[in-house]
């Protein structure tokens, strides 16, 4: 299975279907998050348990979170994707109360692979649009 195929399955099963019991199928034992401004885990290296906490954080804020992959480019041990994120805010976000509002935003992520497993990412996400859509900022 190619890195691109592994990533597509990871996004679908872990993020879109919230199948967290399969993390070890996709993730290296150490997962580093770099250049992901606004992510509480930015600059950290996570084990599977910490990555699961990160997922719970996202799923509690947006239980119906969904990523649609728009573009994918694979180059050696890196796979870049451009995506559209949708979801309904039913849980608090960083101290902000849930709004019940739907969001739609875009982003790009470059995933890194080591020995056929995802070992980290660099990400750009339009968090300003999300905050506006939720009514937290104008």
Residue 21 domain-assigned? Answer: yes
CATH code at position 94: 3.10.450.50
Contacts of 76 (CB under 8 A, 6+ apart): none
Q: What's the rounded Cα separation, in Å, for the pair 12 and 70?
A: 13
How high is the pLDDT of residue 38? 77
69: pLDDT confidence band, cut at 50, 70 and 90? very high
pTM: 0.93
Residue 7 within any structural domain of the chain: yes
The residues, ordered by sequence, that sit 6+ positions from 39 with a Cβ below 8 Å of its Cβ are 33, 123, 125
Number of domains in the chain: 1
Alpha carbons 38 and 28: distance in angstroms, whole number: 23
Give percent of the chain above pLDDT 90. 87
For residue 138, is it within any domain?
Answer: no
pLDDT value of position 73: 98
Report if residue 8 sits inside a domain: yes
With respect to residue 94, please indicate whether it lies within any of the assigned structural domains: yes
Per-residue pLDDT tens over the stretch 1-44: 999 999 999 999 999 999 999 999 999 999 999 987 778 888 99
Give the residue, 110 or 42, on which the prediction is more confident.
Answer: 110
Q: What range defines the domain where residue 66 resides?
A: 3-133
């Amino acid at each position: 299975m190619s890195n691109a195929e592994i990533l597509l399955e990871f996004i679908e099963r872990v993020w879109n279907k919230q199948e967290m019991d399969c993390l070890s199928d996709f993730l290296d034992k150490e997962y580093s998050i770099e250049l992901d401004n606004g992510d509480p885990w930015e600059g950290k290296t996570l084990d599977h348990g910490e990555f699961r906490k990160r997922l719970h954080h996202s799923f509690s804020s947006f239980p119906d979170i969904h990523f649609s992959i728009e573009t994918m480019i694979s180059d050696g041990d890196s796979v870049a994707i451009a995506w559209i994120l949708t979801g309904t805010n039913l849980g608090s976000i960083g101290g902000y109360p849930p709004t019940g509002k739907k969001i739609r935003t875009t982003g790009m992520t470059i995933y890194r692979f080591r020995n056929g497993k995802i070992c980290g990412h660099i990400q750009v996400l339009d968090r300003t649009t999300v905050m506006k859509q939720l009514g937290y900022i104008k």
